[in-house]
Structure 1
Amino acid sequence: MEKEGQKIVVAVDESQESMYALSWCLSNLISDTSNNILVLLYVKPSPSVYSSFDVPGNIFSSDAIGVMEKFGRDLAASVMERAEAICRNIDTGNIKMQRVIGSGDAKNVICSAVQKLKADTLVMGSHGYGFFKRALLGSVSEYCAKHAKCPVVIVKHP
């Protein structure tokens, strides 16, 4: 019987930091000798972002909402293609790859996904925000480090 490998979830987005974290993960956490499962997790902004009203209170047409939804789908596909290209460029041995696309608040979706997927490890990039920006915007990686139900590896881009 073949030995079961680790299930490693890598949170990816449009940033260089997340793609660097994926490369780091492939080079440092994935072993050629085990049947690892790599889950590429992308979180689209919540549909509530595409509200029926813009800031001044004008109603968006259904065409505009459709365009925004298509943009979100295209962006998710683009991010996944970039991530898969990185995986192809690094010899990953017997790795199985899955794509998971969630929608909503990134920190909550990521923590929920690692629990549902029964992940062994979560790997994330860090944007390296300073104290004030992190205080205002919050840090997804910091939140996940505290709340995810598995070990979390936060990779800083050099």
Structure 2
Amino acid sequence: MAEKGRNILVAVDEGDESAYALSWCLNNLISDHNSKDILILLFAKTPLPIYSAMDSTGYLFSPSIIETMERCANEVAQKVMDKTTTLCKELNNQIKVETMVEHGDPRDVISEVAERLKVDLLVVGSHGYGAIKRALLGSVSNHCAQNVKCPVLIVKTPKSN
């Protein structure tokens, strides 16, 4: 019977922390260059804020401004996917890589995709926020660790001296 590879979901964004988590995953979890593992790179594109009232200048966002904001968000998502797939090829050009861009709050998107795909492992980076920042801003990695049913690996970037 052929051995089945693992489906590993890696949450990526434009930050250095997620790039470090991805490179750590490739260097430490994917050891066999003929691996049957599948690496799924997930970028959660935060929805544009909806303004139902006038902004502080008294104007509503025009459709052209909203279109420009959406185009910029799409460009960011594409740049993140390009950067992370290039990193995968540089560190292990034999692994199968799939990419996904989903819309929504990153905490919810990552949790929902992990459940929907029934991945074997979720890898997320950590910003290393202290207790106060984590309480105010929320922690994607903490949310995933508490809510995702598969194993979650939180990779912290080493602090520079």
Would the TM-score normalized by the shorter structure come out above 0.5? yes
Question: Aligned partners of 2:2 and 2:67: how far apart in 1?
Answer: 46
- Structural mapping, 1:77-116, within 5 Å: 77-93=78-94, 95-116=95-116
- Give the Å deviation of 1:88: 1.2
Partner of 1:129: 129
Runs (4+) of structure 1 moved beyond 6 Å? none
CA–CA separation in structure 2 for the residues paired with 1:118 and 1:28 = 22
1:21 corresponds to: 21
Gap runs ≥5 in structure 1: none
Q: Sequence identity, in percent? A: 48
Aligned ranges for residues 67-82 of structure 1 at < 5 Å? 67-82=68-83
Root-mean-square deviation (CA, aligned residues, Å) is 1.5
The alignment's TM-score, normalised by the length of structure 2, stands at 0.91
Q: CA deviation at 1:55?
A: 3.7
User: What is the number of residues matched between the two proteins?
Assistant: 156
Q: Distance in 2 between matches of 1:9 and 1:40?
A: 6
Aligned partner of 1:148 in structure 2 is 148
Q: How far, CA to CA, are the matches of 1:141 and 1:92 in structure 2?
A: 27
**How big is the shift at 1:144?**
0.3
Consecutive unaligned residues in structure 2, runs of 5 or more: none
Change (3 A) 1:74 1:25: same
Question: Is the 8 Å Cα contact of residues 18 and 125 (structure 1) preserved in structure 2?
Answer: yes
Secondary structure of the residue that 2:92 maps to in structure 1? Answer: coil
Task: Name the counterpart of 2:36.
Answer: 35
Deviation per CA, 1:18-60: give whole Å up to 9, x if none.
Answer: 000000000111132430100000000124x143556425210
Cα deviation, 1:86-131, whole Å, max 9, x if unaligned, reads 11111253x2111111111110110000011110000010000111
